[in-house]
Amino acid sequence: MITFYPGPSKVYPVVEQYLQEAFHEGVLSINHRSQACMNLTRTAIDLLHEKLAIPQDYTIYFISSATEVWEIVAQSLTQQHSLHLYNGAFGEKWADYAERIVPQVTRLPFGVETPLLAVDLPSLSPDVVCLTQNETSNGTQLHHWQNVAEQYPDALLAIDTTSSMAGITLDWQKADVWFASVQKCFGLPAGMAIMVCSPKALARAFAIGDRKYYNSLLFIHENFIKFQTHYTPNVLAIYLLAKVLALQPPIALVHERIRQQAQEWYAFLEEHFQENQAEGLYPLVQNQAVRSDTVITIAGKPALIAQLKQQFQTAGITVGNGYGAWKDTTFRIANFPAISSADIWALKEELLKKSYIQYEL
């Protein structure tokens, strides 16, 4: 079974071995306040700093999911007003969650083909600006947001990198809250997320002083300075994270490979299918400047998409369904680090069968 599902996604094959090691080493039963657990947490955090080049003065926390970070940002970092700029379903969902918690939410949707730098920014004073760096629902990616930083200099910038962190390099200094769950580019089973905070974000948490919830950022922080967690954590997830990160090359090298593979995917689609767009397949996102490196959305007529999905299923290959408005006209493929070039070739071969059929006709 080969999977290109963009989350939960393919786990590194070596996870099988680490699962057994975790069992035999007794990791699955360790107490979460024990020295062994604190050592494990510390190792995983040190490796995140090292492998992903996260600055030493940015703090790292483990929580249950990216969705939980949406909630933590709203509860512990937003006094009055959050501004949400988005072009897809995940960014929109974040605004929906914030709306139930935060007194004032402003939504600024923009087009799939529009670079964020071209978006007109109203004069507002939000506490937090929320951006989705990699919009998993449509395969777009934000590279730059200096216009947002300049327009709202006092706001915290919170960036959802759920489907890009650990796949591409991130310019950590350019935002205050970053987060991702491990079932995407980290190549691990679902059930944990990583939240990274700048000193400015932490200072804001202290200024606001929220302590109302079990997952108030200040409680989380007070536990993590002791390498403990605010609840009994998924120790297996922390163990697997540390084991898998230890094998990773520096993020700059991972980025280079992922970038190259993405460019090859887009070139492949253009080369083989672009000639006759009405019948063929093409990248949903036409503007190359906003195309994602880690989630590639492929569009075509509904009948063709349905037929291909059937064909992939027969070949034992899973792809991601289209999302929301693009449900029937697209499918999505993850370009995450755990996916091998053999997997990619298997999918390209299936796609080529389709193009041969077309050329024979």
Ligand X SMILES: *Cc1c(COP(=O)(O)O)cnc(C)c1O
Contacts with ligand X by CB under 6 A lie at 7, 65-67, 90, 132, 136, 160, 162-163, 181, 193
> Pairing between strand 2-3 and 317-318?
parallel
Tell me how far, at minimum, the Cβ of 166 lies from ligand X, in Å: 13
Tell me how far, at minimum, the Cβ of 190 lies from ligand X, in Å: 7
Residue (156 or 354) nearer to ligand X, CB = 156
Q: Detail the DSSP E strand segments found in the chain.
A: 2-3, 59-63, 81-86, 104-109, 128-132, 134-135, 140-141, 156-160, 177-181, 193-197, 282-283, 295-299, 317-318, 320-321, 330-334
Tell me how far, at minimum, the Cβ of 156 lies from ligand X, in Å: 18
Residue (135 or 272) nearer to ligand X, CB = 135
Residue (9 or 76) nearer to ligand X, CB = 9
Neighbours of 305 (CB within 10 A): 22
Q: Do the beta carbons of residue 298 and residue 354 sit within 8 Å?
A: no
Tell me how far, at minimum, the Cβ of 89 lies from ligand X, in Å: 9
Q: Collapse the DSSP code of 332 into the 3-class scheme (helix H, G, I; strand E, B; otherwise coil) and give the result.
A: strand
Tell me how far, at minimum, the Cβ of 322 lies from ligand X, in Å: 15
How many residues does the structure list for the chain?
Answer: 361
Residue (90 or 239) nearer to ligand X, CB = 90
Tell me how far, at minimum, the Cβ of 285 lies from ligand X, in Å: 15
Tell me how far, at minimum, the Cβ of 98 lies from ligand X, in Å: 13
Residue (179 or 273) nearer to ligand X, CB = 179
Nearest to 165 by CA among 339, 336, 344, 296: 336
Q: Whole-angstrom Cα distance, residue 149 to residue 152? A: 5
Tell me how far, at minimum, the Cβ of 182 lies from ligand X, in Å: 8
Residue (198 or 294) nearer to ligand X, CB = 294
- For 32-74, the DSSP string reads TTSHHHHHHHHHHHHHHHHHHT--TTSEEEEES-HHHHHHHHH
Residue (127 or 135) nearer to ligand X, CB = 135
**For the chain, what is the radius of gyration of the CA atoms?**
21
Map tokens 């919009």 to a residue: 135
The burial of 42, by beta-carbon neighbours within 10 Å (0-12 exposed, 13-18 middle, 19 or more buried), is given as middle
Residue (160 or 293) nearer to ligand X, CB = 160
